[in-house]
Amino acid sequence: MSAWLLPDHIADVLPSEARHIEELRRALLDAARVHGYELVMPPLLEHLDSLLTGTGEALDLQTFKLVDQLSGRTLGLRADTTAQVARIDAHLLNRSGLTRLCYCGPVLHTRPQRPLASREPLQFGAELYGHAGPEADLEVLELALACLRAAGLGRIVLDCGDVRIVDALLDGLNLPALRVQQLHAALAAKDVATLGQVAADLPTATQSALLALTELHGDAAVLEQAERVLPPSAALQRALADLRSLAQSLPLALAAAGSAHTCAANDIEINFDLADLRGYAYYTGLRFSIFAAALPGQMPQELVRGGRYDEVGAVFGRCRPAAGFSLDLKELVALLPRPAAQKAIRAPWGEDAALRQAIAALRAQGHVVLRVLPGHEHEVEEFDCDRALVPHAGAWVLQALPPSP
């Protein structure tokens, strides 16, 4: 085996893809900035007990661990950035009102999350702390969709659920945590047989309601159906009302943004799946996934996950409302068409002062200028040189070059 072979699911990022990723990173951070989100840069590694406390416990098997040679304590390489941002909000900023934060950086996984996935995602995300109402959920969703628009994605499918619905159905039963976990897993998989076995000794009304959840998926009409078939309670009504408000408000928000972002309400399909409880141990309310395809006819892929997770800061001493989302920039770029080579200007090598001044002036204007070193005049470049600096009448001027064959 070659000594230079990289570990499984780890890869170098070569020039054209790296440029695409960097351009997209800047576009997404700009989208977050204009929505009022401040950039933070948490460290890649922390003490393990800080990374794997509270909601971070679920990341234990995904976290690389090592020993700090300075302190002897065990460190972890982050597998997710959300808990770190919650720590920053709780301990370093400690603001009393709203806090809007965004981030973009690598995370490391011991195992790929899905076939062919990288174990080194480049995670972009945004978090909003301090508001418990559905307005915060709507805001983070609007930002997530703005990020996908910035990437050039058009037709988008939004899939929503709310863990409070199942919590309302199980309220008062005092079930052991393992039993609740089994019910959630069966619901998420829509495994009716297993669900029936795990719920066999529950009240008949609860069994019927849990089984009904596996059929409650589709457009906004599902919310009305849920209100008819599920046992009524104040908690259930609040969850359904928030989802109904989201279904009504989001298209209006997108239509308002359409004039600036070439996006209209009919660019997005909103679906609801009341049995989808992926991440149930993490979310406390709304949970959403966003699917998109770059080209017509492509199968939409899940690109964004997010929702409400009000317990994320509890372990750091500040259990306050929180909502947000994250995505993998590498995964997003892999879905998009490869960009054309960047346009550039070719310039000869030389010591002429006027030539150097012309090159400096073009670079100051943002142009890419490649100086041709002696003996390399005919090499193929990563850049598309469509112009050249040539001497003319005692000055250096730009001359168009014929298209590359």
State the binding site for L-histidine.
80-82, 123, 127, 278, 282-283
Token look-up 């047989």 returns 193
E strands within 236-297?
Answer: 268-273, 286-292
Residue 371: which of 396, 392, 394, 393 has the closest Cα? 396
Please state, in angstroms and as integers, the Cα–Cα distance from residue 214 to each residue in 166, 253, 270, 285, following that order. Answer: 11, 30, 18, 18
Q: What is the dihedral of CA 106, 299, 159, 33, to 10 degrees?
A: 40
Token pair listed for 401: 């070059």
Check if the beta carbon of residue 131 is closer than 8 Å to that of residue 322.
no
Q: What whole-number distance in Å separates Cα of residue 33 and Cα of residue 106? A: 20
Token look-up 């947000």 returns 324
β-strand partners of 385: 344
- Which residues sit in the known binding site? 80-82, 123, 127, 278, 282-283
Check if the beta carbon of residue 267 is closer than 8 Å to that of residue 156.
yes
Q: What whole-number distance in Å separates Cα of residue 343 and Cα of residue 254? A: 34
Token pair listed for 304: 């964004």
Taking CB atoms within 8 Å and a gap of at least 24, the contacts of 314-321 are 314/54, 315/53, 315/54, 315/55, 315/56, 316/54, 316/86, 316/87, 316/90, 316/91, 317/90, 317/91, 318/89, 318/90, 318/94, 320/129, 320/130, 321/129, 321/130, 321/131, 321/132, 321/136
Other Cβ atoms less than 10 A from the Cβ of 5: the count is: 8
Residue 140: which of 23, 309, 269, 270 has the closest Cα? 309
Residue 33: which of 150, 121, 154, 130 has the closest Cα? 150
Q: State how far Cα 266 lies from the chain centre.
A: 22
Check if the beta carbon of residue 45 is closer than 8 Å to that of residue 75.
yes
